[in-house]
Structure 1
Amino acid sequence: MEPTEDPSQRIRVSDADREQVAEILRTAAGDGRLDSDELDERLGDAYTARTVADLVPLTADLPDAAVPYVPPTPARTGGSRITPVAEPTHERGLAIMSEYDRRGDWLVPHELTVMAIMGGANLDLRRARFSASEVVIVANAVMGGVEIVVNPQTRVIVEGTAIMGGFTAPQDDSEVVPGAPTVRVRGIAFWGGVDVTRKA
């Protein structure tokens, strides 16, 4: 029976991952483990790599002393990835009698402010990358609604204020994993609603 392919090998790598491998290769060359031709060839492969499967072989024959490349493991954070951004980032979304949507693979800023006035905002964070270990979503709903979806492993803290409206938060934290990002939800719901749910 053929071995099952490791799904982690198909994970897309970031520029930081490529640079990590490049630094390992340069160190190995400085130690005399790679000649200049090998270094040039592997650096070229590193900078054009798209997945973990492309990067891992480039350092596989280097000894442990060379600090081999360790691929990212999204499973440790339930599939969510934290991509640290040095400077705090802020974004705004506005839905006035319309819709504001964010979904798929997108970078959640340090603080995202969303206003839904007689409209709706939909934020799907299940495949998103987080710019910090804790991000803040200021969700304001005025005769409208804001829907936020996270995966079962993401920590959620809801601190909203409801005035003739409502805030709902996930009640089951049993699948939240250590190291997962935290989503802190604040804001006001006036004749409207802000709903945070967990879905796989």
Structure 2
Amino acid sequence: MIGEAERDKAVQRLQGAYAEGLIPHEELDELLHQVLTAEVRSELVSALVSLPEEHPGTTSTIAAAGGRIQRGGAWRVPRNLKIASAFGRVRLDLSRAVFEHPAVDIELQLGTGRARITVPRDAIVDIEGLHTGWKDLRYRAPQRSRPGGPEIRISGTMGFGRLKIRHARR
């Protein structure tokens, strides 16, 4: 039997490979169907066998039990960023960050406390994989967006805090 988390990770790998231009659209559809209908692990593995290995250096984790997690300025954003905080506040300013990948996955594991993420003006934000507990998410997509910005996929779980996402003004 395949767990939901394992299936989701396989889907994210396929979407990442597509975003990086490693597989064409037709192949993506085929492989997604294979992953979503797989009943045993071997079927899941065979759908991912043509993808390049994941680079462990492209994942970073920032964790704190309490206090603040804060990033800003011109910092390099890894392909996968995991942020875990039990009680503290999280502030990520991606407006001047350096994106080396066209798509970035940010996984939030937050207990209580607030989180605020500022994304570049032309970023495309996907929050489908985010589950909030007590408070709702505050995000309003811009009415007009310019093509060419990074895709930022935010997933994970938030307990009692609130997440606010906004686009930079410049």
In which range does the TM-score fall when normalised by the shorter chain?
0.5 to 0.7
Structure 2 counterpart of 1:95, from 33, 41, 64: 64
The answer as to whether partners of 1:95 and 1:121 remain within 8 angstroms in 2 is no
Alignment length (residue pairs): 114
The answer as to whether partners of 1:140 and 1:146 remain within 8 angstroms in 2 is no
TM-score, length basis structure 1: 0.53
Query: Who is 1:181 aligned against?
Result: 150
Query: Who is 2:126 aligned against?
Result: 157
Change in Cα spacing, 1:115 to 1:166, as seen in structure 2 (3 Å) is farther
Query: Who is 1:171 aligned against?
Result: 141
The answer as to whether partners of 1:99 and 1:121 remain within 8 angstroms in 2 is yes
State the distance in 1 between where 2:143 and 2:79 align.
Answer: 23
- The Cα of 1:127 is off from its aligned counterpart by 0.5
Q: Which amino acid aligns with 1:162?
A: T
1:105 corresponds to 2:74? yes
Q: Which amino acid aligns with 2:168?
A: K
- The Cα of 1:166 is off from its aligned counterpart by 2.6
Q: Which amino acid aligns with 2:163?
A: V
State the distance in 2 between where 1:161 and 1:146 align.
Answer: 14
Structure 1 counterpart of 2:117, from 140, 144, 148: 148
Q: Which amino acid aligns with 1:153?
A: D
Structure 1 counterpart of 2:98, from 95, 107, 129: 129
- The Cα of 1:173 is off from its aligned counterpart by 4.1
State the distance in 1 between where 2:64 and 2:94 align.
Answer: 18
- The Cα of 1:118 is off from its aligned counterpart by 1.1
Structure 1 counterpart of 2:160, from 170, 177, 191: 191
Change in Cα spacing, 1:187 to 1:173, as seen in structure 2 (3 Å) is farther
Q: Deviations over 1:132-189 (max 9, x none)?
A: 1000011122111221101221111112101113322233241x22221111111111
Q: Any idea what SS the aligned residue of 1:187 has?
A: strand
Q: Deviations over 1:106-143 (max 9, x none)?
A: 11001101012110111100000112100001112211
State the distance in 2 between where 1:90 and 1:173 align.
Answer: 32
Unaligned 5+ residue runs, structure 1?
1-85
TM-score, length basis structure 2: 0.62
